[in-house]
């Protein structure tokens, strides 16, 4: 193909274009350096396109280009036809139906759960948390930093079997635990404290000791209070018009004090009864009986006492005896005018 021969080429790929020229008001695309047969094998069905000479008028050129385009489109139809088109329509309709069903179900769920701009049903979203206007049923764990009732309304927590409250440390281990069952209340803590409304300590319990901070500890059980070990207290007092009984049914009862022990009855008697021996012992001091009258009615006598039949009718007569003591400290009675001694065969001092 000589350089002087110029042929109009339409619909050629950009990499094959070498130059674009204009002649008057006509746009022409020239291919130089390549023959016509080398260009059209790159275009499908190029053998069916007949090259035409350049027309001087625009109307003839457009008519020829339209005829070439119509011939090309008649060979290659663009689109989906036949059963593929039907399958595509069916798929689109199915997707639309599923979208409609999904939207309807979503609206139904929103209606049932009563979603609104403030929350869901009786659950309202308020600044700082959630507000529940009715009853809440918790089917699993509940995690919250604080639970408060409405102003002026009580709060009730119910459980069908048991109620458990646990606190954990920074590492996630259980630090304290409160268990409320149908038959017991169990608290697992390192220190238990009960305080009044003013913050005063009423009861404190640790593994070492239990402290009662109340003014009085009152035991109203009919059986009293049972202590398996020692009891340390500064005062043991019975309620008004009630008796105070310290009893050990099967073992001994001991009272120890670092300084003194005082037994006082302000409006009654003090009675001490034992089966065998009643001992009063003072190591470094004395035993003092300070009373206007001291009675020892069952002391034994060393000698037969004189008969008082002669003076039985005298109202002013009283029997007076001597109070004697054996070497071992045993006391006995002797006649008032005799010697304060006992016979050797007597069993008084044994």
pTM of the model: 0.40
Q: In percent, how much of the chain has pLDDT > 70?
A: 72
Range in 63-72, 90-99, 147-156, 211-220 the model is least confident about: 63-72
- State mean pLDDT over 172-190: 90
Q: Which residue has the higher pLDDT, 18 or 341?
A: 341
**pLDDT at site 347:** 76
**CA–CA gap between residue 303 and residue 321 (Å, rounded):** 11
List pLDDT tens digits, range 293-335.
Answer: 888 888 888 766 555 544 455 555 567 888 888 888 888 888 8
**CA–CA gap between residue 64 and residue 70 (Å, rounded):** 10
- State mean pLDDT over 175-191: 91
Q: Is the pLDDT of residue 43 over 80?
A: no
What is Dmax (Cα atoms) for the chain? Answer: 191
Residue 65, burial from CB neighbour count under 10 angstroms (0-12, 13-18, 19+): middle
Q: Mean pLDDT in the chain?
A: 75
**pLDDT at site 158:** 83
Q: In percent, how much of the chain has pLDDT > 90?
A: 10
Q: Is the pLDDT of residue 262 over 70?
A: yes
Residue 255, burial from CB neighbour count under 10 angstroms (0-12, 13-18, 19+): exposed
**pLDDT at site 91:** 95
| Helix H or strand E segment including 84 | helix 83-112
**pLDDT at site 2:** 45
**pLDDT at site 177:** 93
Beta-bridge partner residues of 19: 30
**pLDDT at site 107:** 92
**pLDDT at site 64:** 65
**CA–CA gap between residue 305 and residue 253 (Å, rounded):** 40
Q: Is the pLDDT of residue 90 over 80?
A: yes
**pLDDT at site 96:** 96
Range in 51-60, 81-90, 118-127, 198-207 the model is least confident about: 51-60
Q: Which residue has the higher pLDDT, 109 or 27?
A: 109
Across 135-139, 204-208, 300-304, the highest mean pLDDT is recorded for 204-208
- State mean pLDDT over 102-114: 90
Range in 2-16, 180-194, 237-251, 269-283 the model is least confident about: 2-16
Residue 238, burial from CB neighbour count under 10 angstroms (0-12, 13-18, 19+): exposed
Residues 6+ apart with CB under 8 A from 179: 162, 163, 164, 185, 186, 187, 188
> In the structure encoding, which two tokens stand for residue 318, read together?
């009283």
CB 137 within 8 A of CB 129: no
């Amino acid at each position: 193909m000589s350089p002087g021969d110029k042929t109009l080429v339409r619909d050629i790929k950009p990499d094959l274009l070498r130059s674009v020229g204009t002649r008057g008001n006509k746009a022409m695309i020239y291919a130089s350096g390549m023959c016509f047969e080398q260009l059209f094998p790159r275009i499908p069905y190029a053998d069916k396109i007949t090259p035409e000479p350049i027309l001087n008028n625009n109307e003839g050129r457009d008519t020829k280009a339209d005829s070439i385009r119509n011939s090309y489109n008649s060979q290659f139809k663009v689109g989906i036809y036949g059963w593929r088109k039907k399958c595509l329509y069916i798929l689109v309709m199915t997707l639309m139906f599923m979208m409609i069903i999904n939207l309807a179900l979503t609206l139904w769920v929103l209606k049932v759960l009563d979603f609104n701009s403030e929350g869901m049903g009786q659950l309202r979203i308020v600044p700082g948390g959630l507000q529940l206007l009715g009853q809440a049923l918790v089917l699993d764990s509940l995690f919250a930093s604080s639970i408060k009732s409405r102003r002026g309304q009580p709060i009730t927590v119910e459980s069908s079997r048991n109620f458990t409250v646990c606190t954990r440390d920074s590492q996630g281990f259980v630090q304290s635990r409160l268990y409320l069952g149908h038959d017991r209340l169990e608290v697992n803590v390192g220190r238990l404290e009960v305080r009044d409304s003013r913050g005063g300590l009423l009861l404190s319990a640790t593994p070492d000791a239990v402290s009662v901070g109340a003014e009085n500890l009152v035991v109203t059980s009919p059986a009293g209070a049972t202590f398996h070990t020692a009891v340390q207290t500064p005062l043991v007092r019975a309620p008004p018009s009630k008796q105070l009984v310290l009893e050990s049914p099967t073992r001994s009862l001991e009272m120890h004090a670092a300084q003194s022990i005082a037994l006082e009855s302000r409006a009654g008697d003090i009675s001490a009864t034992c089966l065998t021996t009643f001992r009063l012992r003072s190591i470094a001091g004395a035993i003092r009986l300070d009373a206007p009258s001291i009675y020892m009615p069952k002391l034994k006598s060393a000698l037969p006492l004189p008969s008082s039949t002669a003076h039985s009718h005298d109202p002013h007569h009283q029997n007076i005896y001597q109070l004697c003591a054996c070497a071992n400290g045993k006391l006995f009675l002797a006649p008032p005018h005799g010697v304060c001694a006992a016979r050797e065969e007597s069993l008084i001092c044994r």
